[in-house]
Amino acid sequence: MANEPGSGLEIVGFVAMSGVEKKIASAVLREAIPNLSEHVVALRAGEVVLALEERRNALPLNDLLRVKTTGVHVNDIASFIERETGRVDLATTNPSGLIFSDGFSAGQRISKVGKRLFDIVASLIVLIVGLPLIVVAGLAVVLDSRGPVFYRQPRVGLFGEPYDIYKIRSMRTDAEAAGKAVWASENDPRVTRVGRIIRKLRIDELPQLWCVLKGEMSFVGPRPERPSFVDELEQKMPFYAERHMVKPGLTGWAQINYPYGASVEDARVKLEYDLYYAKNYSPFLDLLILLQTVRVVLWPDGAR
């Protein structure tokens, strides 16, 4: 992370609190340091990040207190990664870390009223303006391949409640002939010629604005997944159900940071971004996501 260009981070040293914890060859053993706070000050460190694998009865509280009182910021590895990457790292996060964090504030409720008003007004405007595009795309779909113009598919929404999304069909009607849900992939062969165009321009997503207008979705939020995928992912990764504590959206924090998602591992990375959004929701974050989404639509370098 610190080695990435533009990170603004510089690692000035490592301290292994015990021989067991010494995972980095250059780390200095705690026993070799007479005074940890003086050691930190001598390194001119601005922040100490605690990355213990086992915290039970192992937290160096006295050391950390002395470091804190010197004016150096003390942070845990999960919060540090969240701040620097914009995602909740599942490998270092535990339930207590989420429970006692500053996120998921009740103050978000007031902001969500404004969010709902925006969804109603914006979805009406975009539906009216986008209606000609829907009609043209629908005619192109009919001329390009056999099958209906629209398709309906079940998704998991707020609080895990199921609902149906609507899209302009961009795949062949036999895309899932085996009757089993299949992950989408880059350059998916099931996508029709017209489908590739309307996907790049995001025109196939326009009918979902009806779901936004009804209140089943929002403009911004975690992308809704199919029930079969949700059942699988909840079994394979922690905190997956928590992404359903916010309303699903047409676009989201995960989509602008990690555009592709065609496997369980991709879903894990997207979950980390979705949890960050749910934890740190604000009108400003929504505005940032919408602006970044407009950029992606105008320069479609990662559409699926």
Q: Find residue 16's DSSP bridge partners.
A: 29
pLDDT recorded at residue 303 = 45
Beta carbons within 10 angstroms of residue 114's beta carbon: 11
pLDDT recorded at residue 202 = 87
Chain centroid to CA 76: how far? Answer: 21
Q: Find residue 49's DSSP bridge partners.
A: 75
For the chain, list residues with pLDDT below 50: 302-304
pLDDT recorded at residue 269 = 93
pLDDT recorded at residue 24 = 84
pLDDT recorded at residue 54 = 67
pLDDT recorded at residue 175 = 66
* Angle CA 61–62–68, to nearest 5: 85
Q: Tell me the C-alpha distance between 32 and 16, whole Å.
A: 10
